[in-house]
């Protein structure tokens, strides 16, 4: 229940906006298009409310994580809210009477806001809509840079509402103003103020290791204050100074344990940033770290657990294992699946830890030689029934989704399946 509170609050506030407009309607000034204008203004208000939510979620408030089920789930909400706002904007445009005479500043601002939002939203939807993907040809980096301007168009959209020939609805307009303030403050905080209030902390890279030919382990030491690493399995955002390509915040799971004095992240080279990092990151470089985030924590699970790591999805489990100071308090079957032996980074360390913890049964699978890991064999090893097992998974999204489906078919409880999304877009 707690993890749904954030979404419930959003829905209540959206409904409250409709109620405020219904209970305190605008004065009918006798204009011809009164009903269309009234409806258009209600839709415009909902648009401001939705966009302010999306901007608020972009601040990545750590305190709000439990109310959404983690930052990754907050991003899912952010995406859904922003997509709804975009669709609502199109409906708003169809409903409001559009005039081409006696244009005011507000009318021009409406076009600016509309075009700006379309330019940002199309590449955002592109990864999910193949046609758009071809049309926009957008890279993640390009999209991210463009996305930073969204607050400007939000502000333009609101000023548009104030400077057109709008209906007079004192209470409703002041209600919406609260959301405009929330959205604007959130945007300014995200883009300009975060650094001043300790959201981003300076670290130094103390070592750069390459456990194989595509993975980099980065070790970092705080220059002053350390981030709040509350439990094993959390992730951070990091960027590196002194190299333009690396000076862009990316999320990575912390693969060290919270009690270690240094932070370690283990990064697979998959794209521009991570490949450049593999080749160019050097000890002594400065890092800027934000976090820690995430609720992926096996200690909140039940007595019997199944852990499944696919490829670089090993990172939260490395942190779990490195965090074991006393005997493991749960019975865990831990599956680590990779295609080839050299991809199983830190497998020696994992085996050594497993030897000290009899309740931890480790199964490292090289699928090219021994076939793909299946849920059937996991269930068999678990003794046949998995209804009460808590399942923790991290790996490529298609793998995690396929396993989730099979676990559910095998009788797992949906509430007991936990996974980290390695994708925010």
Ligand X SMILES: Cc1cc2nc3c(=O)[nH]c(=O)nc-3n(C[C@H](O)[C@H](O)[C@H](O)COP(=O)(O)OP(=O)(O)OC[C@H]3O[C@@H](n4cnc5c(N)ncnc54)[C@H](O)[C@@H]3O)c2cc1C
**Binding site residues, ligand X, CB under 6 A:** 72, 140, 144, 235, 248-253, 266-268, 270-274, 312, 315, 420, 422-425
Spatial separation of the C-alpha atoms in residues 41 and 403, rounded to whole Å = 46
- CB of residue 75 to ligand X, shortest distance in Å: 8
3-state helix, strand, coil in the chain (%, to 5): 55, 20, 30
Q: Please work out, in degrees rounded to the nearest 5, the angle formed at the alpha carbon of residue 316 by the alpha carbons of 313 and 321.
A: 120
- Cβ(391)–Cβ(417) under 8 Å? yes
- CB of residue 315 to ligand X, shortest distance in Å: 4
Tell me whether residue 206 or residue 214 sits nearer to ligand X (CB atom). Answer: 214
- CB of residue 140 to ligand X, shortest distance in Å: 4
CA 72, distance to chain mean position in Å, is 4
Tell me whether residue 24 or residue 424 sits nearer to ligand X (CB atom). Answer: 424
| Closest residue to ligand X, based on beta-carbon distance | 271
What pairs with residue 240 in β-bridges?
A: 287
- CB of residue 183 to ligand X, shortest distance in Å: 22
Tell me whether residue 114 or residue 252 sits nearer to ligand X (CB atom). Answer: 252
Tell me whether residue 199 or residue 304 sits nearer to ligand X (CB atom). Answer: 199
- CB of residue 325 to ligand X, shortest distance in Å: 22
- CB of residue 175 to ligand X, shortest distance in Å: 34
**What phi-psi label fits residue 182: left (phi over 0), alpha (psi between -120 and 50 degrees) or beta?**
alpha
- Give the β-pairing of 201-212 and 215-222: antiparallel
Tell me whether residue 381 or residue 423 sits nearer to ligand X (CB atom). Answer: 423
- Cβ(190)–Cβ(144) under 8 Å? no
Tell me whether residue 78 or residue 268 sits nearer to ligand X (CB atom). Answer: 268
What pairs with residue 362 in β-bridges?
A: 334
- Cβ(339)–Cβ(366) under 8 Å? yes
CB atoms within 10 A of CB 352: 11
């Amino acid at each position: 229940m707690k993890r749904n509170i954030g979404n419930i609050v959003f829905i209540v506030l959206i409904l409250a906006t409709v109620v405020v407009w219904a209970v305190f309607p605008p004065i009918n000034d006798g204009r011809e298009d009164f009903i269309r204008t009234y409806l258009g203004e209600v839709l415009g208000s909902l648009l401001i409310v939705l966009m302010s939510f999306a901007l608020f979620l972009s601040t990545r408030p750590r305190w709000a994580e439990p109310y959404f089920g983690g930052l990754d789930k907050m991003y899912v909400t952010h995406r859904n809210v922003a997509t709804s706002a975009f669709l609502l904007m199109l409906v708003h445009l169809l409903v409001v009477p559009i005039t081409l005479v006696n244009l005011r500043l507000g009318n021009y601002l409406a076009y600016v806001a509309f075009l700006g939002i379309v330019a940002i939203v199309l590449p955002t939807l592109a990864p999910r809509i193949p046609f758009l993907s071809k049309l926009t040809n957008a890279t993640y980096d390009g999209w991210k840079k463009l996305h930073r301007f969204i607050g400007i168009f939000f502000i333009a959209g609101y000023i548009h509402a104030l400077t057109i020939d709008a209906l007079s609805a004192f209470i409703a307009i002041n209600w919406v103003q609260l959301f405009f303030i929330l959205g604007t403050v959130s945007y300014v905080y995200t883009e300009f103020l975060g650094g001043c209030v300790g959201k981003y902390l300076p670290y130094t890279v103390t070592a750069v290791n390459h456990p194989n030919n595509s993975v980099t382990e980065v070790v970092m030491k705080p220059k002053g204050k350390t981030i709040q690493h509350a439990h094993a399995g959390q992730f951070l955002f990091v960027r590196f100074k002194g190299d333009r390509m690396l000076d862009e915040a990316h999320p990575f799971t912390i693969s060290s344990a919270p009690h270690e004095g240094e932070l370690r992240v283990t990064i697979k080279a998959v794209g521009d940033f991570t490949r450049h990092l593999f080749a160019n990151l050097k000890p002594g470089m400065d890092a800027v770290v934000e976090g820690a985030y995430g609720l992926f924590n096996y200690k909140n699970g039940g007595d019997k657990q199944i852990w499944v790591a696919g490829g670089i999805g090993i990172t939260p489990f490395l942190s779990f294992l490195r965090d074991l100071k006393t005997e493991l308090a749960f019975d865990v079957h831990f599956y680590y699946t990779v295609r080839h032996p050299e991809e199983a980074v830190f497998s020696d360390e994992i085996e050594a830890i497993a030897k000290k913890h009899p309740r931890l049964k480790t199964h490292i699978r090289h699928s090219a030689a021994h076939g793909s890991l299946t849920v059937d064999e996991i269930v068999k090893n678990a003794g046949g029934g998995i209804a009460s097992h808590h399942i923790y998974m991290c790996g490529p999204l298609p793998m995690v989704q396929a396993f989730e489906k099979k676990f559910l078919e095998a009788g797992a409880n949906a509430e007991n399946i936990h996974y980290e999304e390695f994708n925010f877009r």
